[in-house]
Structure 1
Amino acid sequence: MPVEGFEDAAWRAGQTLAAAVAAYAVAAWAVAPALSRAVVARNPRNRTLVNAVRTYVRALGVAVAVVVAILTAGYGYVLGDSAIVVAAATLAIGVAGQEVFGNVVSGLFLVADRNFNVGNWVSWGGETGGVVEVVGFRSTRVRTTANELVTVPNTELATQAVHNPYARGRYRTSVAVGVPYDADLDVAEAAMMDGAAAVEDVVESPPPEVVASFADDAITLELYVWMRDVKHPDIRRVQSSLTRRVRDALVAAGVDASPAAQRELSGHLTLGFEDA
């Protein structure tokens, strides 16, 4: 290749690269931050939507950069041929696969869902669950209580029942204990209420409630309490504290908690002897 031709090709390649980089820079460092600020102003607590805007604008910036590069390189006629564009799009979708495309669409639905946000604790499909960290194109990353990072396909979250027990600000938990049939249930109930009142995270309204039911060997008293502004790691701590406080209150009131099971056996025993 002559020197002039090489210089011309290098100059054209440099122009193409500069135009693509400039187009992406405008999208990533000008458009994306501006849109993010607008989204934050209207949805200050929806980190899912903010992260999604940044991700999708940057992806759009890549697409625009590719188009600008094609135009700068002088191959704009390729974009003008609709048959070529349609064929390229069909090939891209076919190569990517239906599952990947489904994950992308599901990710858009998750971002649009107001009840599914970054920072929420969720569980799905019988899984232990965890805190949503990032909602991406193909998958969602969830941090479990064991500090494990789980990558979940978006279609799995979009097509299954997702539980978010802490979305309403209050959460109800319970602790059950058995007392003898001859125990004073009023005294036992009052002791359990005193135990609940001693737990800092238990709210007064709605008030705690004790429900009694029959069991085989005892009367089961189940104490229901409400907690406010708790997350999944706090639940076990509150339940443990509630159990300790209720146990101590029952002991102080002289109520035998969880009595040993008693069984009455009946029958007869026959002894036989043989001559030596």
Structure 2
Amino acid sequence: MISLQAAPIDLQQYIPDLISAFTTVVLFVVSFALIYWIGKSFMSRAVERGLEHRGFDRTLIDLAVSTTVVVVAVVAVALAATVAGFGVVLAAFATLAGALALAVGFAAQDLIANFVAGVFIIQDEPFSTGDWIEWDGNSGVVREIQLRVTKLDTFDNQLVTVPNSDLASAAVVNNEANDKRRVSVGFGIGYEDDIEQAREAIIDEGSRIEGVFDDPKPTAPVTELGDSAVVLQGRVWIDPKKHSYGAVRARFLEAVKERFDAEGIDMPYPNTELSGGIEVTNADEMEAPSDD
């Protein structure tokens, strides 16, 4: 009968390896914590103060600080791994991270483009919340500007969400950027009507509208000799931030129409006159209508 006796396990031989592993881990943790704390304290503060000094928007400052903290964390991991002797692991991780970043970059091109456009919109401020803007045949009042999209309300109270890259690449008209805006309305009168009488009526009614400036003064020059009317363009100036362009224009139209009706000034419809004659030939050859 053969008896098997287990060989004794010498734990002493594993102690150096355990101590080495423990030392490496502790060195990595301590190095990471120290580098991250110093880097975060210094870099985030430097970035925040630098951007505040240059007058950047608070949203962009917070974004830059958050990004800086992430970058500091990545750098701290890399340096701590190098100090602890994880060079091979770090190299493999860097290769994998690079490939992953490239794949994500290709997949998120539109997202990145909108994000970058949002940064420029927030910083350059071509428009702000509450402004009435127009772009590519569309219009709306800005409700909210985010880093990826801008939300607007149409005049029918519909919510429109527009990618920031579309607004950044389009010609955007801000109807409320300046403190003065001209409201122009064309009024047609008959060729027999008195131009000075019509002009006086337009200017007088325009100056009576609430919100219209005395300076620049309302004017009504002749801008067109149309096919059926002499067109005078009534021009008044308002503050678009205090008074609605559409409401002022509507009141202007209505007031001048009522004034013209009261003073007997014609506002002719487009019409066409035909001149000449009609000649009928071979009338004798036409058959008379039958009584049947």
Asked if Structure 1 and Structure 2 have the same fold, meaning a TM-score greater than 0.5 normalized by the shorter chain, the answer is yes
Cα deviation digits, residues 186-231 of structure 1 (max 9, x gap): 0000000001011112112222221321111111111122111437
Contact 2:142–2:150 at 8 Å: present in 1 too? no
Query: Residue 237 of structure 1: which of 226, 230, 247 is its match?
Result: 247
**Cα RMSD after superposing both structures:** 4.1
SS at match of 1:122: strand
Query: Residue 108 of structure 1: which of 119, 130, 141 is its match?
Result: 119
Question: 1:10 corresponds to which residue?
Answer: none
Once the two structures are TM-superposed, the CA of residue 244 in structure 1 deviates from its matched residue by 1.4
Q: Cα distance 1:162–1:132, how it changes in 2: closer, same or farther (>3 A)?
A: farther
Q: How many residues align?
A: 245
Give % identity: 31
Query: What aligned pairs does 1:3-152 form with structure 2 within 5 A after superposition?
Result: 49-58=57-66, 60=68, 77=86, 81=90, 84-85=93-94, 87-97=96-106, 98-136=109-147, 138-152=148-162
SS at match of 1:105: helix
Contact 2:127–2:177 at 8 Å: present in 1 too? no
CA distance in 2, matches of 1:64, 1:158: 31
The structure with the larger Rg is 2
| Matched AA of 1:147 | N
Q: Cα distance 1:99–1:180, how it changes in 2: closer, same or farther (>3 A)?
A: same
SS at match of 1:172: strand
CA distance in 2, matches of 1:135, 1:162: 17
SS at match of 1:187: helix
Query: Residue 215 of structure 2: which of 191, 199, 205 is its match?
Result: 205
Once the two structures are TM-superposed, the CA of residue 86 in structure 1 deviates from its matched residue by 6.0
| Matched AA of 2:205 | G
The yes-or-no answer on 1:160 pairing with 2:203 is: no
Contact 1:194–1:246 at 8 Å: present in 2 too? no
TM-score, length-normalised on structure 2? 0.66
CA distance in 1, matches of 2:102, 2:128: 28
CA distance in 2, matches of 1:275, 1:237: 65
SS at match of 1:128: strand
Query: Residue 194 of structure 2: which of 159, 180, 184 is its match?
Result: 184
Any gaps of 5 or more consecutive residues in structure 1? 1-14
Once the two structures are TM-superposed, the CA of residue 115 in structure 1 deviates from its matched residue by 2.8
Q: Which runs of 4+ in 1 moved over 4 A?
A: 58-73, 75-80, 269-272
Any gaps of 5 or more consecutive residues in structure 2? 1-28
SS at match of 1:247: helix
Quick one: higher RCO (CA 8 Å, sep 6+), 1 or 2? 1
Query: Residue 252 of structure 1: which of 244, 253, 262 is its match?
Result: 262
Contact 2:130–2:142 at 8 Å: present in 1 too? yes
CA distance in 2, matches of 1:224, 1:144: 26
Contact 1:122–1:129 at 8 Å: present in 2 too? yes
Contact 1:52–1:135 at 8 Å: present in 2 too? no
Once the two structures are TM-superposed, the CA of residue 241 in structure 1 deviates from its matched residue by 0.8
Contact 1:202–1:225 at 8 Å: present in 2 too? yes
SS at match of 1:168: coil
Once the two structures are TM-superposed, the CA of residue 110 in structure 1 deviates from its matched residue by 1.9
Contact 2:206–2:212 at 8 Å: present in 1 too? yes
TM-score, length-normalised on structure 1? 0.69
SS at match of 1:224: strand
Contact 1:121–1:132 at 8 Å: present in 2 too? no
Cα deviation digits, residues 137-179 of structure 1 (max 9, x gap): x323333333333222222122221221221121112111211
CA distance in 1, matches of 2:87, 2:175: 53
Once the two structures are TM-superposed, the CA of residue 93 in structure 1 deviates from its matched residue by 4.3
SS at match of 2:58: helix
Structure 1 stretch displaced more, 64-73 or 121-130: 64-73
Q: Cα distance 1:236–1:78, how it changes in 2: closer, same or farther (>3 A)?
A: farther
